[in-house]
Structure 1
């Protein structure tokens, strides 16, 4: 993300990247993702919170007042997307947080715990459990997921596991949420990590909204993928006529090079 813009303006929407693995100084960086969505005439939405308080520090640098955030959407239960929640408890406000219930489950990568301590913050937020495929957050901002897994070359990393019903099983990220901003003549699609496949998610969004994707931004989880797979992904994304693509966080450098 170095040398790239951290603020994106499309129509009446402003997106500010508050947390990413690489940001230019004086901004702070960490392994994590958080993006602030401000749309004219609508409540402010925060999508993910990174790992620590980096997103808060960067918001201060940008001059953004996070106390004005009305809604928070958590893409999934990993620490690098939900870990920053606990740092919002000092704001003296009970933020409304949208997520799917499986985000609360203990998460692992092999033997390493990759979730967060939900118990310690359970009373500090107003958690809204999403059960539907598509949920309206504001007049034009939606959360949707999990994406249907349709193709045979995208699936979650088998090293990721989750404890369900007392048993550690492979994690298919059934709680994964993505964000869509409906701009009328097209949509902005924001992904947290795209564990269920960036192509699956994009095609899902196009089917749900019936509109072209003006901007695709977020984590694509391709940093471990071989060149052949990334080239295939880029080829399909180009066939889908996406106007602008900004891979962040876990996307990896290779997709950025191929997209140039």
Structure 2
């Protein structure tokens, strides 16, 4: 099932898509992802910040005040998820940003730099380095990762690389974080790019929380995948206890079409 609205409400949780590749006017689109999580009675969490200030412009259009954001969670260090951070420096607030240490590493895709300039913004944020597999952000909002790699079928694209210990090596996205909103009757699972595999992430979430998934939303990174792989992923997702699926950002048109059937 898919949803073309920028806002989704499930129980006491409201999700607002602030940045995506295909938002409808008057909202702006760009290659990137950002999602605002508002849970009644709890602090507000922003998951990723897109590439530029598009998420800030869209927030203004929708009527969301980003100065009320209490915590930011960055899924990984690519520009299309962390690039918008520098534009938050204009809001006059020092935000708490949750991320893993490896998010700061220089990142590349086929020789092209795909990270951001962390040095330029380091003094503008309070970085909270996540070290545990699962961390509680608010009373019912959690970040977890990296997902356990269960098979080569979902290994990250080998064209992604990082510079670690002064050496260019393959990027297995060991910093990747996902967000979960835990509700009485199930969980909401939010992914940034799912570089470690959307099935791996879903299976981890099901094991960690032992509840059905009311909504799976975010990037599934299937836009460059073969139809055979997409079919396999879609088949597995449809076999799991997931009520609603909204593929965004890097999921690809093929995956969106097949998941909508």
**TM-score above 0.5, yes or no:** yes
Aligned ranges for residues 5-84 of structure 1 at < 5 Å?
A: 5-84=5-84
Distance change >3 Å, CA 130–CA 3, structure 1 → 2: closer
Aligned ranges for residues 34-183 of structure 1 at < 5 Å?
A: 34-183=34-183
Which whole-Å CA distance do the structure 1 matches of 2:211 and 2:142 have between them? 14
User: Partner of 1:215 in structure 2?
Assistant: 215
Note the aligned Cα RMSD (angstroms): 1.0
Which SS does the other structure have where 1:131 is aligned? coil
User: Partner of 2:185 in structure 1?
Assistant: 185
Which whole-Å CA distance do the structure 1 matches of 2:60 and 2:123 have between them? 26
Unmatched 5+ stretches in structure 2: none
1:241 shift after superposition:
2.4
Distance change >3 Å, CA 195–CA 84, structure 1 → 2: same
* 1:197 corresponds to 2:197: yes
Which SS does the other structure have where 1:162 is aligned? strand
Which SS does the other structure have where 2:242 is aligned? coil
Q: Is the 8 A contact 1:31 1:50 kept in 2?
A: yes
Which SS does the other structure have where 1:215 is aligned? strand
- Number of matched residues? 259
Which SS does the other structure have where 1:195 is aligned? coil
Q: Is the 8 A contact 2:98 2:129 kept in 1?
A: yes
1:185 shift after superposition:
1.1
Which SS does the other structure have where 1:153 is aligned? helix
Q: Per-residue CA shift, 1:41-97, capped at 9, x if unaligned?
A: 000000000000000000001000000000000000000000000000011110000
Which whole-Å CA distance do the structure 1 matches of 2:29 and 2:170 have between them? 30
Q: Per-residue CA shift, 1:84-136, capped at 9, x if unaligned?
A: 00000011110000000000000000110000000000000000000000000
1:3 shift after superposition:
7.8
TM-score, with structure 1 as normaliser: 0.98
Q: Is the 8 A contact 1:3 1:24 kept in 2?
A: no
1:152 shift after superposition:
3.1
Q: Is the 8 A contact 2:22 2:29 kept in 1?
A: yes
Large movers: runs of 4+ above 4 Å: none
Which whole-Å CA distance do the structure 1 matches of 2:201 and 2:66 have between them? 28
Which SS does the other structure have where 1:123 is aligned? helix
Distance change >3 Å, CA 3–CA 136, structure 1 → 2: closer
